[in-house]
Amino acid sequence: MKKKRTIITALAAAMLALWGCGSPKGAAPGAAQRFERPPIKEVTESELDADGMVIDAVALAESGRADEALAAYRRATEKHPDCAAAWYGMSQLLAQRGWADSAEACARRATTLKGDNVWYALALAQAQEMKGDNRGLTQTFERIVAQNPEVLEYYYALSNAYIGADNLPKAVEVLNRVERRIGVTEAISMQKARLWTAADKPEKALKETEALAKAFPQEKRYNAILATTYMQQKRYAKAKEYYDRILAADPDDPYIHIQMAEYFKTVGKGAEADSEMVRAFDNPALDSKTKLQLLGSFYTNEEFFGTHKATTFRLLDKAMAGCADSAEYAPFYGQVLLQQGRYEEAAHQMETALRRDSSSYDLWELLLVSLHSTPGAEAKTEACARRAANLFPLHTLPHFLLALADLGREDYNGALAHIADIERWGFTKGYLEEDTYSLKAECLYRAGRLNEAWATFDRLIARFPDNMSALNNYAYYLAEQGVDLEKAERMSRRTVEAESENPNNLDTYGWILHLLGRDKEALPYLKKAVRLDPTSETLRNHLEKVAAQ
């Protein structure tokens, strides 16, 4: 005769519903059954004993006594080999220790005893995953999905299992099942697109994204993904179709104009690309920092400073107009302004940059070049050159500009002192060497140190024989002193042959011919010089003197 359970034993058995020694299924009851009284089922003495042993093993495991729990499960399976819950619990403990083979064997025994219990099946899947048994894993999850078709996470796990088994088409097919249940979603469509791409089936990947774009026409990014993909495939007409859709949906989006610019540039329509960039930069939604970054990435150096500079310089002006931190970009902007001949603006940008970091000589040099080229900025140029010379005494340009300033004040000895500083430190790759020695020769001549001046001119011309300015000045000064006129005539003739439209060269040559008594030859050169520069009083005086002979 079967023995009746006590109330306490019955409660303990209810806890075992998860494992299933005394219950037919591990899954939770449906909503319709929730409030129904379960049928009374009598339990045998053997089942009660098995339940009790499992409860003891669970208690040991939950108290952290894993070794004792494992031994308790083993005793339960030896005494009650048909107790699925004991096999399941032992599988879990073995899996925690990384013993995948043993865990799988125990989980498989549990699923054999209770094939409809999802927890046992999941334990088997866990062990198979630990072993890397992708084929077995797919089979297990196929059964789990078949028994639990309403649980979407099992479909995703099954799809991943097929990915692990290198069966990408099957992984996609599983996701199609989910899609049939819940409709098109971004997560599923994009995952299918990635799988088709990995399977080297790009057309199928595109179809997934196209389906997504069709299902959600209000989402611009799907069209953008398609356009980008078609651009990568060099299917430009197809890409343009999707760019046009984005443009029609939101013409005020600055980024679609940037994408259109990329498209036009790729297909060789530079003017259209420039126009799209202008539209993007005119949009206040595009911040200045992004605009400046785009300029650096969209155009090559050759395009920026050469073939497209009419546009790029204009775009740079637009970007800098709203730049919150102009100091960060001031050096770059200043160089562009300098190239455009906007010297005063360039100097302002360099000063802005130097307020942020005055330790860069390159910035000082750009500032000095800008100031030197700005009309009326002589005093400021000298002040900045003096400061730069103190900060960077080994560099040439500051000393050179200070020498020029002294020359302007007729302080020739002061100018020669700065030139001596330059000579002391030497020239970097010949930078300003030619100009420095031209300036030195000029200062020596004006200081009355003629022999030193002639020697300096001779060294200069020997080193730089094509320096027409030095040849002209040297010839003129010799003529002015009335010495070595034959040498002066030879040098001056070279300048006229090289630069026949230079009024100063023509005047020098004509005047030397006059001093040599060759007025008839001199007259045409002097006339042409005056014609080319009618405002020069010196040129007119020379012509009048020779013409009066």
Domains of the chain with bracketed CATH: 1-132 (1.25.40.10)
pLDDT of residue 263: 94
Rounded Cα–Cα distance for residues 388 and 381 (Å): 10
| Residue 221 CB partners (closer than 8 Å, separation 6+) | none
Q: Band of the pLDDT at 219, cuts 50, 70, 90?
A: confident
User: Is this prediction's pTM over 0.85?
Assistant: no
Residue 374 has which token pair?
């700005």
pLDDT of residue 213: 82
What is the Cα gyration radius of the chain? 46
Rounded Cα–Cα distance for residues 536 and 549 (Å): 21
pLDDT of residue 211: 87
Asked whether the beta carbons of 48 and 5 are under 8 A apart, the reply is yes
Would you call 153 helix, strand, or coil by DSSP? helix
CA quadruple 217, 221, 225, 227: dihedral sign: positive
| Alpha helices in 151-269, H assignment, sequence order | 152-164, 168-182, 186-198, 202-215, 220-232, 236-249, 254-266
Asked whether the beta carbons of 118 and 27 are under 8 A apart, the reply is yes
Asked whether the beta carbons of 108 and 81 are under 8 A apart, the reply is no
pLDDT digits (tens, 9 = 90+) for 3-50: 333 222 232 333 333 444 544 444 443 444 445 655 656 778 888 998
φ/ψ (deg, to 5) at 115: -70, -15
pLDDT of residue 150: 92
What is the share, in percent, of the chain residues with pLDDT greater than 90?
74
Rounded Cα–Cα distance for residues 506 and 512 (Å): 10
Backbone conformation region of residue 449, classed left if phi is above 0, alpha if psi is from -120 to 50, else beta: beta
| Residue 86 CB partners (closer than 8 Å, separation 6+) | 19, 21, 50, 53, 54, 57, 73, 76, 77, 80
φ/ψ (deg, to 5) at 516: -85, 0
Nearest to 377 by CA among 386, 368, 365, 364: 368
Asked whether the beta carbons of 135 and 141 are under 8 A apart, the reply is no
pLDDT of residue 185: 86
Rounded Cα–Cα distance for residues 238 and 226 (Å): 9
| Residue 217 CB partners (closer than 8 Å, separation 6+) | none
Question: Which position has the token pair 């001056």?
Answer: 492
Rounded Cα–Cα distance for residues 484 and 474 (Å): 11
pLDDT of residue 187: 86
Nearest to 348 by CA among 333, 328, 359, 360: 333
Distances (CA, A) of 60 to 26, 49, 88, 153, 548: 22, 17, 15, 31, 129
| Range 148-165 average pLDDT | 92
Query: Which DSSP category does 307 fall into?
Result: I
Query: Which DSSP category does 415 fall into?
Result: H
pLDDT digits (tens, 9 = 90+) for 461-502: 999 999 999 999 999 999 999 999 999 999 999 999 999 999
pLDDT digits (tens, 9 = 90+) for 328-343: 899 999 999 999 999 9
Residue 360 has which token pair?
């860069």
Rounded Cα–Cα distance for residues 472 and 492 (Å): 6
Residue 412 pLDDT > 80, yes or no? yes
Residue 167 pLDDT > 50, yes or no? yes
Query: Which DSSP category does 286 fall into?
Result: S
pLDDT of residue 502: 97
| Residue 316 CB partners (closer than 8 Å, separation 6+) | 292, 295, 333, 336
Q: Band of the pLDDT at 196, cuts 50, 70, 90?
A: confident
pLDDT of residue 40: 59
- The single-letter code of the amino acid at 2 is K
φ/ψ (deg, to 5) at 186: -65, -45
Rounded Cα–Cα distance for residues 13 and 20 (Å): 9
Rounded Cα–Cα distance for residues 513 and 30 (Å): 120
| Residue 457 CB partners (closer than 8 Å, separation 6+) | 441, 470, 473, 474, 477
Q: Band of the pLDDT at 457, cuts 50, 70, 90?
A: very high
Residue 337: enclosing H or E segment and its boundaries?
A: helix 326-339
The whole-angstrom distance between residue 109's C-alpha and the CA centroid of its chain comes to 57
